[in-house]
Amino acid sequence: MKFFIDTANLNQIKEAAALGILDGVTTNPSLMAKEGIKGKDAILNHYKAICELVDGDISAEVLSTDFEGIVEEGKVLAALHPNIVVKVPMIKDGIKAIKWFTDNGIKTNCTLIFSAGQAILAAKAGATYLSPFLGRIDDSGWDGVQLIEEIAGIFRVQGFKTEILAASIRSANHIIQCAAAGAHVCTCPLDPILGLLKHPLTDIGLAKFLEDAAKM
């Protein structure tokens, strides 16, 4: 399973990249706004800065919701760097645009996936990735991991090539569950990734080794 970090914060991206296990980055308009990125040039420059930090797929989201607007924006984003993946919302014009990008050799991430039906449509359009938002599904009282399992099962049967990018991850346990459920990628903030490091028996064991090492 690939690990992407879900942030537009350059320091957090650097910290995750320094671990040596980072395969890419996802962003969205909310994450960009959180970093105070405003205006077309600043947005494009920020994506370029991220591409310089990580050698892997970088999702950059379009803001348009009509076919022509999505295609025009996506072409500009894709021209920034070969690692840019154009992130497109799961709407009718989004699906049309994903098909256009697929036919024109531009990678895509279909975002805001909340059902298996939406996942099938994104895969049929040739999306490189699709992003089920499992944390938001859990927040609403459904089961996000179950959706990942369902999509993974359908994709195995149908042979779809689109990668399942588990998004909206809230905890280290979510990452483990997504790995077991068949997600190809998980994207999450830095904390859940660092959470995978933690176990009290590791801390106790290391303290004992260091104590005994002092006697050697």
Judged by the rule CB under 6 A, the positions of this chain that interact with ligand E4P are 6, 26, 28, 111, 131, 133, 135-136, 167-168, 187
CA dist list (Å): 88 to 2, 77, 201, 211: 20, 12, 43, 54
Considering the complex, state which of residue 78 and residue 111 has its C-beta at the smaller distance from ligand E4P: 111
Q: How far is CA 85 from CA 28, 53, 137, 159, 172, in A?
A: 12, 16, 24, 22, 25
CB of 129 to ligand E4P, least distance (A): 9
Going from the C-alpha of 5 to that of each of 109, 139, 204, the distances in angstroms are: 15, 21, 29
d(CA 148, CA 119): 10
Nearest residue (CB) to ligand E4P, 125 versus 187: 187
Question: Which one, 6 or 204, has the nearer CB to ligand E4P?
Answer: 6
Cα angle 89-134-34, degrees, rounded to a multiple of 5: 60
Smallest distance from the beta carbon of 26 to ligand E4P, in angstroms? 4
- Comparing CB distances to ligand E4P, the nearer of 37 and 208 is 37
Considering the complex, what minimum distance in angstroms separates the CB of residue 204 from ligand E4P? Answer: 33
63: left (phi over 0), alpha (psi -120 to 50) or beta: alpha
The set of residues, in sequence order, having a beta carbon less than 8 Å from that of 161 and lying 6+ positions away, is: 123
What's the min distance (Å) between Cβ of 165 and ligand E4P?
7
Of 34, 87, 107, 215, which one is the catalytic site residue? 87
198 in catalytic set = no
Cα 169–Cα 175–Cα 177 angle in degrees, nearest 5: 110
- Active-site residue numbers? 87
